[in-house]
Amino acid sequence: MQKNALHILLADDDDDDRLFFKDAFEEVKVQTKVEFVFDGLQLMEHLNNPDNKLPDILFLDLNMPKKTGKECLIEIKKTERLKNLIIAIYSTSSSDEDIEDTFIEGANIYIKKPSDFNALKKIINEVVTLNWHYHTSGLNRDNFLLSLK
């Protein structure tokens, strides 16, 4: 069972956000294994370490100390081993600039951190059950930002 579990990695420096994230995943019905890194540097170390299994989905906060999410994104997309990683931007910001930039740099989806725990659960459910192959091939600026109906 554990082997089939979805491997999730969240890079976020905020304790509370990690807590919400963890709790939300526990309530999601899909089998998942959630790991955390606390800043951009740690994230890159983790990903570049061949001993670590690559996550199925990387949730990436943009505003992090030491190395920002955008810098990490650019670095990942430049690295041969990592460039096919599915990356979900997970940020407080919903500025057009951030959305535009991360879309261009090749992120797969943009999630604005919700201010409601139930909304967060819905989002996570949506993301983990998403058909990534289908989503990525039809990706455009309009469906890049995840919005819940």
Partner 1 sequence: MKWIPKFNSSNSLRVIFIIAIFILLFLSSIAYKHNRDLNESSKLVIHTYEINVQLERLISAIKDAETGQRGYIITSNPKFLTPYIYSRDKVNRSFITLKKLTSDNPKQKQNLENLFSLIIQEFKTFENCLKYSNPKTYDKRKLDNYLFSGRILMENIRFQVEKMKDIEKKFLEKRLKKYDEEISLGPIFSISLFSTALTFILLAYRQISRDLIRLKIYNKKLLISSGLMSESEKIGQFSTWQWDLNTDKMDYSDNQFRILGFQPNAFVPNKDTFLDFVHPEDKEAIAASMENIINNKELPFSYYKIIKSDNEIRHFKSTGKLLTDQNGNNILLGINFDITDEHLLNIELQERNNELEKSNKELASFNHVASHDLQEPLRKIQTFISRISETDRAAISDNAKEYLLKIETSAKRMRVLIDDLLLFSRTNTTKKEFIKSDLNGLLENAKSELAVIIDEKKGSLKVGKLPKLYVIPYQIEQLFINLIGNSLKYSKPEIAPQIIIHCEKILSNEIPELIDQPFKKFYKITFTDNGMGFDPQFKDNIFVLFQRLHSKTDYPGTGIGLAICKKIVENHKGYIKADSKPSEGSVFTVFLPE
Residues in touch with partner 1 (CB under 8 A): 14, 16-17, 20, 23, 92-93, 95-97, 113-118, 120
SS3 84: coil
Task: Closer to partner 1 by CB, 51 or 96: give it.
Answer: 96
Task: Closer to partner 1 by CB, 91 or 108: give it.
Answer: 91
Least distance CB 35 / partner 1 (angstroms): 22
Task: Closer to partner 1 by CB, 16 or 142: give it.
Answer: 16
Least distance CB 20 / partner 1 (angstroms): 6
Strands (E), the chain: 6-11, 32-37, 57-60, 86-91, 109-112
Question: How far is residue 89's CA from residue 99's CA, in Å, rounded to a whole number?
Answer: 9
